[in-house]
Structure 1
């Protein structure tokens, strides 16, 4: 009987893995469909004629014949639902379309801007983690006063708007001190202010989660057992408590990365930094529907991949999830 149960374990484990993969794949496809659908209909609610936007906007003084020709060329004369199905089919085939305003394929345009935004988001996420972990560790070691100060700093940081923080950082480091450029320039110096603008609010949010989890871990039985075995306080924190405290923050890193990309719209505009955020803002202003859809779909794919990576990281860091 025991041998039969042992023989069934690989089969059961394989079924669990297949079910997990299919569930994740189905969820990813649903997210992409929902993003494409919401983006399509939201853009159609913007006042104005897309054909007129293609020809250069109201100032172009396009003739009715030219407008009609553009509508036929881009399928804008078709019913709205037909346009929607056509766009879904193109996206399924990997065709992001052609930019109205730039007259070039969207895929290479988005590919060029993707690297700058990903660099900004990854650096901001790493710095937010370091700031949050450092503040949580200090506040839990310094007693009640340090905890109160740390909690206040985390709440204030999490509530800071990106546009306000960017303005303050420019005034402080660029105008008053003159040590950093006010706009993004090639090199490390041009990254400092944009990264700080995105990292500080996120660090405040992650810091709150880490601090509460760290306090819970320090009072847990496994920490008390480690102390009873004679481990030093530093060893207890580094080996046991901090690892436990990082688990909630790891789970939230996928969401955090998505918030960083959305924040990049503001940051890249303020610091005149090329990237997906600035490209998206310009495309919305010009009603460049293919560019908007392309950027949003690429961001959705990146978000799905980051969510999957954080799930894997959570399982690697937490033996209970691996066992489950």
Structure 2
């Protein structure tokens, strides 16, 4: 983030950072964001519902399973009535929305049990994976920024090169390399599974490496701009050490673009977790989504879409609050 001082006449002002944060008092912002979030959730569910329902194929065949052979018309009619498939599409949609308002995500076509019983145990492993990946990504990005920005030309070039390299690495390739080196060859971490923190490290790093490159690139730009601002010169003139200036003053101003990127990245991490969960044979929403799409289990697919949208919205709301912690000027209403 850059903070520029401009003056017109006898008064001067400092421009607010350019961010995606909503201006105004925090309670009002939360209320606006909550109402907007409900609309976004409704839109996501609506689009997903009609797109999936319009895909060619008969859901009854999925419900009957691959071993069913020539079911009678009475059997087909009974199944359609049981799952509400005999109603017009609009009525099916309204029934689905009514169920959502009551906390009912539907019944799986394949497993014949409530969707929550299937996805409930899968939510936490995916959130743990995405959360730890975000922590690793920020740790690496801040290390690149603090150690290389404003240093010697060699360190500057090294930092930029590593950031570009990390941002270019595909997550599946990073996962395979980490698995081979640290699990198979060195044996430091488990090869697969969900057992404990050690099993979470490698898949989280596979997701974090590309994201760290992107966060470091946007943070670097803001950090470079903040280093030449008058408040930095003033801090140095007061005798503060270089590390104190970087961490206490400059870094705070450089975080906002990274926070904006993180809000988008959380949704991306939950979506991208499917690749890592397959490579490391982990439980999670990603594998459940792939299995549901493959078997055309529409209720599970819709539920995963809803969960991912909800996570994205919640993270954006948290980031909006963090903007005010990092830079209180965001709370100010523009003149």
Aligned residue number for residue 21 of structure 2: none
Alignment of 1:86-235 (within 5 A): 86-235=95-244
1:310 equivalent in structure 2: 319
Q: Deviations over 1:189-213 (max 9, x none)?
A: 2112101111101101101011111
Q: Which residue pairs with 1:4 in the alignment?
A: none
Match of 1:51 among 60, 63, 73: 60
Give 1:78 deviation, angstroms: 1.9
SS at 2:149 equivalent: helix
Partner of 1:300: 309
1:17, distance to aligned residue in structure 2 (A)? 5.5
Find the aligned partners of 2:98 and 2:184 in 1 and give their Cα distance. 51
| Pick aligned residue for 1:60 from 65, 68, 85 | 68
Larger relative contact order, structure 1 or 2 (CA cutoff 8 Å, min sep 6): 2
CA distance, structure 2, for counterparts of residue 92 and residue 252 of structure 1 = 31
**Partner residue in 2 for 1:281:** 290
**Which whole-Å CA distance do the structure 2 matches of 1:130 and 1:17 have between them?**
28
CA deviation profile, 1:215-242 (whole Å, cap 9, x unmatched):
1111111111111222111111111011
CA 1:18–1:146 in structure 2 vs 1: closer, same or farther (change >3 Å)? closer
Distance 1:211 1:225 in 2: 21
Gaps of 5+ in 2: 1-23
Q: Secondary structure at the match of 1:182?
A: coil
Alpha carbons of 1:299 and 1:62: their partners in 2 closer, same or farther (altered >3 Å)? farther
Please, what TM-score do these two structures have when normalized by structure 1? 0.89
TM-score (norm 2): 0.87
Query: Aligned equivalents of 1:200 and 1:216: distance in 2?
Result: 25
Instruction: State the 1:62 CA deviation.
Output: 4.5
**2: CA distance, partners of 1:18 / 1:189:** 40
CA distance 1:31–1:153, shift in 2 (3 Å):
same
The CA distance in 1 between the partners of 2:72 and 2:210, in whole Å, is 50
**Cα distance, 1:26 vs. partner?**
2.2
Residue 185 of structure 1 deviates from its aligned partner by: 4.0
1: CA distance, partners of 2:149 / 2:44? 41
Contact 2:163 2:216 in 1 (8 A): yes
Deviations, residues 8-62 of structure 1 (Å, cap 9, x unaligned): xxxxxxx9566434421221011101110121122224332111011113x4324
Query: Residue 180 and residue 289 in structure 1: after superposition, are their counterparts in 2 closer, same or farther (change >3 A)?
Result: same
Cross-structure match for 1:5:
none
Aligned pairs, how many? Answer: 309
Alignment of 1:239-250 (within 5 A): 239-250=248-259
Match of 1:272 in 2: 281
Residues in 2 aligned to 1:291 and 1:111: alpha-carbon distance in whole angstroms? 11
Greater CA drift, 279-288 or 120-129: 279-288
Q: Is the 8 A contact 2:126 2:285 kept in 1?
A: yes
Structure 1 unaligned segments of length 5 or more: list them: 1-14
Query: RMSD of the alignment, in Å?
Result: 1.9
Tell me if the contact between 2:49 and 2:302 (Cα under 8 Å) persists in the aligned partners: yes
